[in-house]
């Protein structure tokens, strides 16, 4: 049996995956949606990886799925436990020795997002709803905002990414075509330069698990099948 391990981005809430998790279970898979200790100032990326490994337990057939900031912790897990596939979804891609805090300036993310906003006639000022929830159904957005806002400590952004190289595990990169936070061409460049791979593109913005859960689940199942046949 395949086990999908769903790793959230900043804020560390497993609730992010609540629309995708049942769809993967309906396809006959085990699913572990991980809550990370995002509000704990004593927890960095290594501690995030510890929590994920503990959540996996003795499960096998692992497919790690990393959303956004989860791209910094998922490879640490892949270096510690047998993983069949790592799927990056609208994710940050670290380089050895690079902190998550330095990633933003190193990659030019702010300029890329501002350029896209200007091209689309939007304000270049950051706006949470406009940047993240522009394509999320209103009732889903309301459910998210009805929950207490998850805190995010700065600790995971401070220390250098500890691996010497990307783990030796098959890696795929899935990007939302309409992501305003990490624009498509920006992500295409990151995947090429940092991973040496091309991205796949699906409809949706930065929060595709909320806006396009069925499409995302189908892509994940497709990746699993391709990996099994490889």
Phi and psi based region of residue 108 (left: phi greater than 0; alpha: psi -120 to 50; beta: remaining)? left
pLDDT of residue 65: 98
> Average of pLDDT values for 35-52?
97
Residue 79 confidence (pLDDT) above 70 = yes
DSSP state of 8: -
Label residue 64 exposed, middle or buried (CB < 10 Å: 0-12, 13-18, 19+). buried
Residue 129 confidence (pLDDT) above 70 = yes
Percent of the chain with pLDDT over 70: 99
Number of domains forming the structure of the chain: 1
Beta strands of the chain (E only): which ranges? Answer: 3-7, 30-33, 62-67, 85-89, 171-176, 200-202
Q: State residue 201 phi and psi, 5-degree precision.
A: -120, 130
pLDDT of residue 148: 87
Tell me the whole-structure pTM to 2 decimals: 0.97
pLDDT of residue 208: 98
Q: Which of 10-19, 55-64, 143-152, 200-209 has the lowest mean pLDDT?
A: 143-152
pLDDT of residue 45: 97
CATH of the domain at 35: 3.40.50.1820
Look at the alpha carbons of 165, 171, 177, 179 in this order and tell me if their dihedral is positive or negative. negative
- 230 vs 204: CA distance, rounded Å: 28
Give the chain's mean pLDDT: 96
- 160 vs 140: CA distance, rounded Å: 35
Q: Is 66 helix (H, G, I), strand (E, B) or coil?
A: strand
The model's confidence at residue 229, banded by pLDDT at 50, 70 and 90, is low
Residue 210 confidence (pLDDT) above 90 = yes
Residue 54, Cα to own-chain centre: how many angstroms? 19
What would the pLDDT profile of 105-121 be if each residue is shown by its tens digit? 999 999 999 999 999 99
pLDDT of residue 230: 65
pLDDT of residue 150: 85
């Amino acid at each position: 049996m395949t086990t999908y391990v769903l790793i959230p981005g900043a804020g560390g809430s497993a609730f992010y995956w609540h629309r995708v998790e049942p769809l993967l279970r309906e396809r006959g898979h085990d699913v572990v949606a991980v809550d990370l200790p995002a509000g704990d100032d004593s927890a960095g990326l290594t501690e995030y990886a510890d929590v994920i490994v503990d959540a996996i337990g003795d499960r096998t057939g692992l497919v790690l799925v990393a959303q956004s900031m989860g791209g910094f912790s998922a490879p640490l897990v892949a270096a510690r436990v047998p993983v069949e596939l790592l799927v990056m979804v609208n994710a940050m891609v670290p380089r050895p020795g690079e902190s998550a805090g330095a990633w933003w300036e190193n990659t030019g993310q702010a300029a890329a997002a501002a350029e896209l906003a200007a091209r689309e006639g939007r304000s270049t000022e950051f706006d949470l709803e406009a940047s993240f929830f522009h394509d999320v159904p209103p009732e889903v957005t309301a459910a998210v905002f009805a929950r207490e806002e998850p805190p995010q400590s700065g600790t995971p952004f401070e220390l250098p990414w500890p691996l010497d190289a990307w783990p030796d595990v098959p890696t795929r990169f899935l990007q939302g075509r309409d992501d305003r936070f990490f624009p498509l061409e920006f992500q295409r460049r990151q995947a090429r330069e940092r991973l040496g791979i091309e991205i796949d593109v699906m409809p949706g913005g930065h929060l595709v698990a909320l806006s396009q859960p069925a499409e995302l689940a189908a892509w994940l199942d497709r990746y699993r099948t391709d990996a099994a046949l490889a």
